[in-house]
């Protein structure tokens, strides 16, 4: 998940910068960027679903967790997810190679998906695959959350693992809902262009931040800040940083007190 998000942010940021600097780039280079961006974007919802299933198994079937969620099966699940996400994108490339001439790939275009994969059949295919992917992920998240919730309520008191699993699945659902903004973002962008015709670049930049950056921002919160050990060292670092800043501010007026604080801290 972290590797996929890092790759997705790197590719989309590079494509965004190139679009601003050069405006038009070769179709061949644009195809590479578009395929990587589409592949990594589709990978995120399926990864969320797989992690929700793992939490469901850990809470509802704890005795079989080690048997079901083995390292080998984890690698197989990751490989299947990457293959399922890459296959439709590669199919778009093959259809474009079959329908367009070689001179088309030497042209310079503004790097958008509809400017490169222009066949109307591909648009219908993309819509169908996106609906299938996100419907399966949404149903998986709802099923796992309800099962974890019922398992927690069946106990006399909610266990810590069940509560954390339920919260994690809820955060996955929020992240999925933010990822689904990519469906409505093209229509919203068209409406905003009609309302603000002279702010095209600003609208595209805001769309990029909200649709592509913000959903990936939740991953460090889910798996970083919620970790007890990491949160402990984060609080310690913040306290040290605040104390150091306070010491520097007091050193301008009360030098002996600041020096004493620095010596005691060291």
pLDDT band at 235 (very low <50, low <70, confident <90, very high): confident
pLDDT tens for each residue of 28-47: 888 888 888 888 888 877 88
Query: Is the model's pLDDT at 64 over the cut of 50?
Result: yes
pLDDT tens for each residue of 142-165: 888 788 777 767 665 556 666 766
Residue that the structure tokens 């262009």 belong to: 193
Residue 108 pairs with which residues in a beta bridge? 26
Q: What span, in angstroms and rounded, lies between the C-alpha atoms of 145 and 188?
A: 31
pTM above 0.85, yes or no: no
Give, for 109, the enclosing helix (H) or strand (E).
strand 108-109
Query: Is the model's pLDDT at 182 over the cut of 70?
Result: no
- Burial string for 118-138 (b: 16+ CB within 10 Å, else e) reads eeeebeebbeebbeebbeebb
pLDDT tens for each residue of 10-29: 888 888 788 778 888 888 88
For the segment 160-181, the average pLDDT, to the nearest whole number, is 69
- Helix 181-195 with 160-179: angle, nearest 10 deg: 40
pLDDT band at 251 (very low <50, low <70, confident <90, very high): low
Query: Is the model's pLDDT at 259 over the cut of 60?
Result: no
Q: What is the pLDDT of residue 264?
A: 44
From residue 193, alpha-carbon distances to 37, 197, 201, 203 in Å are 24, 5, 10, 7
């Amino acid at each position: 998940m972290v590797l996929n998000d890092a790759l997705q942010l790197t590719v989309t940021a590079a494509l965004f910068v190139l679009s601003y600097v050069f405006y038009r780039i070769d179709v061949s280079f644009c195809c590479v960027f578009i395929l990587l961006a589409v592949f990594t974007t589709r990978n995120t919802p399926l990864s969320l679903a797989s992690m929700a299933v793992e939490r469901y198994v850990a809470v509802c079937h704890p005795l079989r967790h080690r048997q079901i969620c083995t390292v080998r099966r984890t690698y197989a699940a990751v490989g299947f997810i990457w293959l399922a996400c890459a296959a439709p994108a590669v199919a778009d490339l093959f259809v474009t190679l079959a329908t367009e001439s070689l001179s088309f790939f030497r042209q310079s275009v503004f790097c958008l998906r509809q400017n490169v994969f222009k066949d109307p059949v591909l648009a219908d295919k993309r819509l169908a695959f996106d609906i299938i992917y996100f419907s399966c992920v949404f149903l998986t998240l709802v099923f796992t959350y309800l099962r974890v919730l019922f398992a927690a309520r069946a106990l006399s008191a909610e266990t810590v693992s069940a509560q954390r699993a339920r919260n994690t699945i809820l955060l996955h659902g929020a992240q999925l809902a933010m990822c689904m903004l990519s469906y409505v973002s093209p229509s919203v962008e068209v409406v905003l262009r009609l309302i603000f015709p002279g702010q095209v670049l600003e609208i595209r930049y805001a769309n990029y931040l909200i649709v592509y950056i913000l959903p990936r921002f939740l991953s460090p919160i889910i798996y970083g800040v919620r970790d007890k050990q990491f949160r402990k060292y984060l609080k310690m670092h913040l306290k040290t940083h605040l104390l150091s800043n306070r010491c520097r501010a007091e050193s301008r007026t009360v030098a002996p007190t600041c020096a004493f604080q620095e010596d005691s801290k060291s």
